[in-house]
Amino acid sequence: MKKCTYFDYAATTPVDPTVLQTMLPYFSDEFGNPSSIHRWGQRAEAALEKARVICAKFLNITPENVVFTSGGTESDNLALRGSALFQRKAVGADEVLITHVEHPAISHTARQLEAEFGFKLRFLPVNKYGMVDPSDVKKLISSKTALVSIIYGNNEVGTVNPIAEIGIICREMDIPFHSDAVQAAAHIPMDMVRDNLTMLSIGAHKMYGPKGVGLLGINVSKGLIPAQTGGGQEFNLRAGTQNIPLIVGMSKAFELSQTEIGNRNKNLICLRDQLIAGVLDRIPDSFLTGHPEIRLPNHASFVFSSVDGNRLLMYLDSQGFACSSGSACKVGSPKPSNVLTSMGIKPELAIGSLRVTIGKETTEDQINDLTMAIESSVRLLRK
């Protein structure tokens, strides 16, 4: 069987061995329900609250403002739906402000708020790199705005938005500001106070943690209507017995990511830039998408003229390389990416997209091998 190399770390990451070892006791001996009064429950609750403290530390918020969820998607849903409905009830605001380059967890939730709940959905423009200009936020935001939500680091093209600058505008207007940081949290130091954020979504499986767990950080509480009701878990915002093994694993993964960012990013940026230079130099009519510098350190994304992106993925997979054409939630879609067309890329070019995301185990030799495989595959497809 041909040796395979993984280049789709934006879709998911393997669980770090240290994270796995941290989780294991809570699948067996420490199996208690944190809502129980007896010693098993007390130990489970202690583990839960320790995890909450760890995550709060790296978000620069208080532990009671960390709400554990089933992942980034649920966190986004709670932030958007919960905040928009609360703000309309509290102050009569009925507009939601997002961009066309959001993850579907944001865009589809916003569409539902418009279609089913009567909110007005407004879109911020992005430039050719997929980046929001804070001045456009200033133009569109108003007292009618219930919520602003802008992606931190784009999952398809890697561009990082000026979140702190936008946050100042929202703070001055006293309007909740949320960011989907699912891709960014593994690579950028998180600080909700520095970034003037009201809410922040994170998912563990993008940072070498387990799937099925995430969190919503709340810096300044402006009120949320819970998306899931039942018991009083997670401060009455997310009912249901907490998944202690996964929460413990997430806190460890987040801690490792945030404390090792400097060393990890230095290596990732070198490899990323090597890949970008190799592809652009060796393949005619190839173009980098996203910002050339202000982008996630592990993220390279391209479009190739006269190439079908899905066929390119098949060619690469047959040679042992796992890549993506964009969001893992859209794999197999024959339509051009809405993110790319919103950046002004023509549909016929956007169809030839490729996303390569590298990880902490990626090597220089693997980058060289992938570059040659992309070159040969594009040449064959163009024939």
Catalytically active residues, by annotation: 329
The region, left, alpha or beta by phi > 0 then psi within -120 to 50, assigned to residue 337 is beta
Minimal CA–CA distance to 187: which of 99, 273, 256? 256
Tokens 């199996």 correspond to what residue? Answer: 31
Residue pair 119/88 in contact by the 8 Å Cβ criterion: yes
Cα 356–chain centre separation = 15
Burial class (CB in 10 A: 0-12, 13-18, 19+), 140: middle
* CB atoms closer than 10 angstroms to residue 143: 11
* CB atoms closer than 10 angstroms to residue 165: 15
What is the helix (H) or strand (E) element at residue 299, kind and residue range? strand 299-304
Cα 366–chain centre separation = 25
Number of DSSP helices (H) and strands (E) in the chain, helices first: 13, 12
**Distance (Å, whole) CA 143 – CA 91:** 9
Map residue 149 onto helix, strand or coil: strand
**Distance (Å, whole) CA 104 – CA 83:** 18
The region, left, alpha or beta by phi > 0 then psi within -120 to 50, assigned to residue 218 is beta
Interacting residues of 54 by C-beta distance below 8 A, sequence separation 6+: 251, 252, 254, 255
**Checking DSSP bridges between strand 5-6 and strand 321-322, what pairing results, if any?**
parallel
Q: In what order do the strands lie in the sheet with 299-304?
A: 286-288, 299-304, 353-357
Provide the token pair at 150. 């802008």
